[in-house]
Structure 1
């Protein structure tokens, strides 16, 4: 007896989330069609090229794109919603949900547009699966719109399946997730998603079935908890500086308590990127709309602590330079919001570099992967092709993104090209002893000055 055919999958939106999900689904054995409304992006992906840096993603894509030598041919791309509707059994919506301009709230226009474009074309049974991070209540509204527009009627269903990708680990997180959460309204939808995720489920990945609101809340609750933990240890760094304590030793000590844990307890410049800050603010905005704003007032302080770290690093730099920034040379190591990424959206590192420049410093930045994106955002900053060039003739060096490359730098070699051996560690990952031994004045956030 023949095996039942695997469902055919489409992925709507080929940004960071969408292209990773599409390539991973092809790797799991599915026929996949990716859609984007930007023709240039589709052309690039069809050549096996990725418009962003994510470890392992280019290789994964290259193994499956139709027409590439040696590829499985299970993955191709289109700009046509008609083709997507005709092709797919399961449609994953992976479009962006940015922060609304001038507001905390989430901009749902891309998600709404995807559903409005796809639904009228669904003439046979299909499952539309939202993966984008959305305000709670969105799935209920979108399900009603899908039922209203789809010619297939009740045979076109909606489910919600939040993503938990970490930039730098997205391929692994998609192929081997630590949990799969699905918000569904029928056993049919649940079984379809069990079929899609059969490989990770066979590895023992937990499969958590919920209603729509809970599935939507899982992502925002998880991000809020992580942000709270980061800002907590950064608040402790502020107290440590005032009391001459050591936040690194403090984090080690409390991290041994298994109720707390050591992860996300590294004090530094705080969080950034395209997800955590905007998801936090959208969660607060939605809670206000629901009349539950008091439950999340603490998140305002979490956000405030996080933003304060950037201003504090600017002030520490001014202090290191004797009180003035005008005309001083600052070498900056790092531009991305985290290592193993080229993402500079809401990057604390780039924000600090930009503030220093605006206040009169001559700033030169080096980042292993994020230079072009940083240059597009801050074209007036100086950029270098290496760490050594970035710090040449610098009056102070700032370590602002914790790339492994920076931890391996030789303080003595760098000391030969700077104007003054003064370094500020904004990520608490450099070894103070090595730098001080090489004659550097070393200062790190939340740590004793000597």
Structure 2
């Protein structure tokens, strides 16, 4: 049983039970802690209390059901509540995992959910406690929130703050929480560091690096990591533009430069770019915060990174228009993929759905299929058509677009699809399909940044 320095069992709470919070709560229970999760939405709490999750994440629902109290055979270490008083009384370490979206009409980060969580929790902290921020926030937020915590908490200075950024990849969140590639903690006391070493003792014992920093550095680690990944993706997409102009093959180019261990092969697949609820808004918030700090020139390159990324979506629409003879009006377009990445049902800022929507606005008759993201896609774009299978999506299509790299799409029966399509034309927007397999089945195959034959 994990213990506090006093020898008493250490109890954790998780505030905010969305994607990050639900995963963190279930993983902490898996590591042996008693955990109490809080959310202000009763419907979400009721669902989680039944061992169900409001999103698709491989392995998360099974992990949750293994520990939720009241479920047969569970450990009973995980409960949920809407009561701030109960959370404050229960927990020794409180993880704040609420959302930090992009402000409407601005690049800056919306801190209202984080600020609200601290304002609602702090007045109930009457004994020593460690509040740990995990949300992605602008640098400087932790220092401000630490002061806010001291002002509002009856425990005063005994209510400490630490910052512990998350590095979850959708589709791998359970693995990334239980076996992280690094743990970063921003702390101001030995006590805070010791408590977090206790929380993460299992992964640290497995060899996970434990990096101790100050508040600003801990806040910058997440945004810097996302800015680097976004830059690498946009770099290879810029090379795809040059490759198309020069008649080169960006896939071979990426393979060649990836053998340089200073560069590596990861995030070097050219395509329609990145999306989701993190990377785009995080790099924009990073630029906005740098401007507030007077360091805006340091991150001006991120504007071009963002521009290249958005340009890829428009380029895919242009390729589709060219493939069907110069006009999308009345053309039947099958779109394989709606989520921003595979192994997720997340369609936030999805390049695939954005392309589908643009084609629809230009008069194309778009039919979408996705293994997990259909319901979320329908809520965002209810005017698109949706098919129950890839075969149904492709039936009668003038053009097929492969826009999310689900494994299912790499294993499609290309001959069966060829039999039902009006025209055997496919554009691979993710560069993950095998061109020879499709061409042997009679398809005209094109991909971004690669020769047409």
TM-score, reference length from structure 2: 0.99
1:111 maps to which of 81, 89, 114 = 114
The reply to whether residue 248 of structure 1 matches residue 274 of structure 2 is no
SS of alignment partner, residue 306 of structure 1: helix
Q: What aligned pairs does 1:408-419 form with structure 2 within 5 A after superposition? A: 408-419=411-422
Q: Which residue of 2 aligns with 1:275?
A: 278
The reply to whether residue 190 of structure 1 matches residue 208 of structure 2 is no
The reply to whether residue 319 of structure 1 matches residue 355 of structure 2 is no
Report Cα offsets for 1:284-307 as digits up to 9, x if no partner: 000000000000000000000000
Q: Which residue of 2 aligns with 1:289?
A: 292
Provide the aligned length of Structure 1 versus Structure 2. Answer: 449
The reply to whether residue 215 of structure 1 matches residue 218 of structure 2 is yes
SS of alignment partner, residue 420 of structure 2: coil
**More moved, 2-11 vs 373-382:** 2-11
SS of alignment partner, residue 109 of structure 2: coil
Q: Which residue of 1 aligns with 2:173?
A: 170
Distance 2:376 2:20 in 1: 18
SS of alignment partner, residue 416 of structure 1: helix
Q: Which residue of 2 aligns with 1:402?
A: 405
2:442 maps to which of 439, 445, 448 = 439
1:181 maps to which of 184, 202, 210 = 184
2:232 maps to which of 207, 229, 233 = 229
SS of alignment partner, residue 300 of structure 2: helix
Distance 2:207 2:318 in 1: 49
The reply to whether residue 141 of structure 1 matches residue 144 of structure 2 is yes
CA drift of 1:18 comes to: 0.1
Q: Which residue of 2 aligns with 1:421?
A: 424
Q: What aligned pairs does 1:70-149 form with structure 2 within 5 A after superposition? A: 70-149=73-152
Report Cα offsets for 1:59-97 as digits up to 9, x if no partner: 000000000010000001000101000100000000000
The reply to whether residue 27 of structure 1 matches residue 30 of structure 2 is yes
The reply to whether residue 69 of structure 1 matches residue 72 of structure 2 is yes
Distance 1:222 1:331 in 2: 35
TM-score, reference length from structure 1: 0.99
SS of alignment partner, residue 303 of structure 1: helix
Distance 1:131 1:211 in 2: 15
CA drift of 1:154 comes to: 1.0
SS of alignment partner, residue 34 of structure 1: strand
CA drift of 1:5 comes to: 2.7
Distance 1:439 1:180 in 2: 50
Distance 1:154 1:440 in 2: 68
The reply to whether residue 59 of structure 1 matches residue 62 of structure 2 is yes
Distance 1:432 1:203 in 2: 41
The reply to whether residue 49 of structure 1 matches residue 52 of structure 2 is yes
SS of alignment partner, residue 160 of structure 2: strand
CA drift of 1:6 comes to: 2.8
Q: Which residue of 2 aligns with 1:377?
A: 380
Report Cα offsets for 1:325-355 as digits up to 9, x if no partner: 1110000000000000000000000000000
Distance 1:204 1:407 in 2: 35
Distance 1:303 1:311 in 2: 13
Distance 1:366 1:383 in 2: 6
Distance 1:246 1:19 in 2: 42
Q: Which residue of 2 aligns with 1:258?
A: 261
CA drift of 1:371 comes to: 0.2
Q: Which residue of 2 aligns with 1:199?
A: 202
Query: Which sections of structure 1, spanning at least 5 residues, go unmatched?
Result: none
Report Cα offsets for 1:176-213 as digits up to 9, x if no partner: 00000000000000000000001001101000000000
1:346 maps to which of 325, 345, 349 = 349
CA drift of 1:54 comes to: 0.2
CA RMSD of aligned residues (A): 0.8
The reply to whether residue 304 of structure 1 matches residue 301 of structure 2 is no
Runs of 4+ in 1 over 4 A off after TM superposition: none
Report Cα offsets for 1:224-249 as digits up to 9, x if no partner: 00000000000000000000100000
Query: Which sections of structure 2, spanning at least 5 residues, go unmatched?
Result: none
